[in-house]
Structure 1
Amino acid sequence: MLELRPVSFDHPDAVRLIAEVQAFYRLRYGDEDATPVDPAQFAAPLGFFTVGYVDGTPVACGGWRARDAGEDPSLADGDAEVKRMYVDDAHRGRGYARSVLAELERTAVAAGRRRAVLETGTKQPEAIALYVSCGYTPIAPFGAYRCEPNSRCYAKEIGAGAARRPGARAADGVPLG
């Protein structure tokens, strides 16, 4: 069973998993994700980071940071950008990524965020499939991803408006709102 714990972006378990995801990117893309990231962006109330543990071992992570329209024309006030979603190789295929994503959506809604946005790459079809299956739809590339041909950006309404839509659910199937 996956136990999700809120941690700082620079917590040792988060740092180890982030290093693993960067190694994964090097294998798939030939380079790391060089998107500027400040650990302070993932601290409440304008961000969140979690690590998932199985029997005390860190196996998954993910976070969000607040983004707003003034930063980029493709963003909207109240956006939460999902970053560093990762499950280690040995624990994939068990629904852990869906659980992490649902926790990110719930905490973003609790912090007043209205839409989750994210970027993934064309060489990660499993990530694209996860996001689409969780209700994410394609949007125009934003920020550092605007000129990246291998980037695909997605968004999902998660805030009060989403909760009023019949059948609106978090990534794990639990109703929003």
Structure 2
Amino acid sequence: MQLRLLAFDHPDSLTLTAAVQREYVVRYGEEDVTPVEPAQFAPPNGLFAVGYLDDRPVACGGWRRVAEAEDGVGPDDAELKRMFVLPDARGRGLARSLLVYLEVSARDAGCHRMVLETGTEQPEAMALYRSEGYEPIPNFGTYREHPLSRCFAKSLLDVAGLPAVG
């Protein structure tokens, strides 16, 4: 997979984020309504990456620095958003590779911890995060009171490796 750093509102980013929203509708009955602004994913306070196979965008994900302390998360944290791999590209380790890249880039930007919100209807996502050392934390953000919401965090202080973008 070749990773390219793109704006959150780049056409390929928009195509993939629309696909993840359709997946949320299938799994939860509605789109994710968490407020996101494209500028939040611009360095140095964020980043958005799109993964390509044979010049076809198949995966995406990004992080944004938490702006204000709330619900146990704060400005030293990076929030993982819009991690997604198209169904026909799954099972190749693309999400894991993208996650590692995002962790390293957030650490290199000065973030100490990666936090995320997912849900019970995404068991494969929860399994990936747990296998990469994420631990459950109290819910935060838009869905903190939702019964299907699950939040996780991982320290970035010991994350090894340097990101490589092809």
**Post-superposition CA distance 1:107-156 (Å, at most 9, x none):** 10110000000011100100000000000000000121211111000000
Distance in 2, matches of 1:10 and 1:138, equals: 30
- Provide TM-score, normalisation by structure 1: 0.88
| C-alpha contact 2:63 2:106 (8 A) present in aligned 1 | yes
Q: Does 1:116 align with 2:114?
A: yes
In the alignment, structure 1 residue 154 sits paired with structure 2 residue 149: no
Deviations 1:81-123 (A, max 9, x none): 0000000000001000001101110110110000000011100
Mapped contact 2:104–2:162 kept (Cα < 8 A): no
Q: State the partner residue of 1:20.
A: 19
Partner of 1:34: 33
Q: CA–CA distance in 2 between the matches of 1:65 and 1:129?
A: 22
Counterpart of 2:133 in structure 1 is 135
How far residue 175 of structure 1 moved from its aligned partner, in angstroms, is 8.6
Whole-angstrom distance in 2 between the partners of 1:121 and 1:142: 12
Tell me how far apart the structure 2 counterparts of residues 102 and 146 of structure 1 sit (CA, whole Å).
25
Specify the SS of the correspondent of 2:154.
strand
The count of corresponding residues between Structure 1 and Structure 2 is 163
Residue 98 of structure 1: aligned partner: 96
Q: Distance in 2 between matches of 1:14 and 1:76?
A: 26
The structure that is helix-richer by fraction is 1
Structure 2 unaligned regions, length at least 5: none
CA offset at residue 71 of structure 1? Answer: 3.3
Question: Sequence identity of aligned pairs in percent?
Answer: 55
Which residue identity lines up with residue 75 of structure 1 in the other structure?
V
Structure 2 CA distance for aligned equivalents of residues 175 and 58 of structure 1: 23
Higher relative contact order by CA 8 Å / sep ≥ 6: 1 or 2? 2
Which runs of 5 or more residues in structure 1 are unaligned? 164-168
Q: Which residue of 2 aligns with 1:166?
A: none
RMSD: 1.5
User: What do residues 21-45 of structure 1 show as CA deviations (whole Å, max 9, x unaligned)?
Assistant: 0000000111000000011000011
Q: Find the residue that maps to 2:142 and give its secondary structure.
A: helix
The alpha carbon displacement at 1:76 in A equals 3.0
**Residues 156, 175 of structure 1: alpha-carbon distance in 2 compared, 3 angstrom cutoff:** farther
